[in-house]
């Protein structure tokens, strides 16, 4: 068994690492060619807040040019400002990813401006908490559109562009609700199960075309959607996992970024990042 000497870097950063230590770890990864993303163009939908914003920042730290897309211009620009302040390149593109034509225009604009597309993260989404008897057809349709339809439109357009750019990877953001049942989440769970199904199917279609497609299934994460839940619901969700806490978006982003790098032999995988749900 190989023993690590005191002069070697730790195998992984400590759990209470500072922002500076996290950036040092990122820079160390940049020296590993499997993790280097210089010259790559990445599109992150839902990139203005939460998991999407954290993912965009980490991709930029590894050298990618990042495009963040979503419906609200202010949070998108805030993400771009953070990336540019770190010395990386990014821009925002306002788009409603539930609109098929808008998604086609978005991907075409990225390719036209950046010269190609290599990586994509589909993190736009939203949910509804309520018993099925309280869920009308319009609400169910809206949840399906922002999660399932948005992923379908985005992945279809991204796949064509990434293949034409020489290959790359896509990560879809599902949820633990997409791999198990949760009371009061029937519409959201149905939509996120659809994301899982599409990921697994399209990964098989894309494997021979140089594009890997995976998904992450985050547990309860400190996003705008979770912040809107009653405190007792958030406490119960945190208590349900082994780590007994809600995840930070940055923690989910790390798993997404790993699946986008060349340091992985994965496609069609759905990775639970859930703090140890039983």
The Cα 185–Cα 270 span in angstroms is: 20
* Any domain includes 108: yes
The Cα 196–Cα 270 span in angstroms is: 7
Give 80-133 pLDDT, tens digit per residue.
999 999 999 999 999 999 999 999 999 999 999 999 999 999 999 988 888 999
* Any domain includes 156: yes
* Any domain includes 147: yes
Q: What angle do CA 121, 124, 125 make, to 5 degrees?
A: 135
CATH number at residue 155: 3.40.50.720
7 versus 262: which is more confidently predicted?
262
- Are 258 and 233 in contact by the 8 Å Cβ rule? The answer is no
* Any domain includes 31: no
The Cα 189–Cα 127 span in angstroms is: 9
Catalytic entry in 56, 69, 188, 271: 188
pLDDT at 1: 39
* Any domain includes 2: no
Entry pTM? 0.85
Residue 186 confidence class, pLDDT cut points 50, 70, 90: very high
Q: Is 265 a catalytic residue?
A: no
pLDDT at 227: 81
DSSP string, 98-123: TSHHHHHHHHHHHHHHHS---EEEE-
pLDDT at residue 226 is higher than 90: no
Question: How many domains does the chain fold into?
Answer: 1
């Amino acid at each position: 068994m190989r023993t690590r000497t005191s002069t070697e870097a730790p195998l992984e950063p400590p759990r209470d690492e500072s922002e500076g230590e996290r950036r040092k770890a990122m820079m160390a990864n940049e020296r590993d060619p499997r993790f280097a993303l210089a010259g790559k163009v990445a599109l992150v939908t839902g990139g203005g807040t939460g998991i999407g914003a954290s993912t965009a920042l980490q991709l930029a730290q590894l050298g990618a040019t990042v495009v963040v897309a979503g419906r609200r211009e202010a949070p998108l620009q805030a993400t771009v400002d953070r990336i540019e302040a770190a010395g990386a390149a990014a821009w925002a593109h306002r788009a409603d990813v539930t609109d098929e034509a808008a998604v086609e225009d978005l991907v075409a604009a990225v390719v036209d401006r950046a010269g190609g597309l290599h990586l994509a993260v589909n993190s736009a989404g939203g949910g509804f908490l309520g018993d099925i008897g309280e869920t009308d057809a319009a609400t169910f349709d809206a949840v399906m559109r922002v999660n399932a339809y948005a992923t379908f439109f985005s992945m279809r357009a991204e796949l064509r562009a990434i293949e034409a750019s020489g290959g790359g990877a896509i990560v879809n953001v599902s949820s633990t609700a997409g791999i198990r049942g949760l009371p009061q989440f029937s519409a959201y769970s149905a939509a996120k199960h659809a994301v899982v199904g599409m990921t697994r199917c399209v990964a098989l279609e894309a494997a021979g075309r140089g594009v890997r497609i995976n998904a992450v299934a985050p547990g309860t994460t400190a996003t705008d959607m979770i912040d809107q839940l009653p405190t007792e619901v958030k406490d119960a969700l945190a208590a349900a996992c082994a780590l007994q806490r809600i995840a930070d978006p940055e923690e989910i982003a790390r798993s997404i970024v790993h699946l986008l790098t060349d340091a992985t032999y994965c496609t069609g995988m759905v990775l639970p990042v859930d703090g140890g749900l039983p």
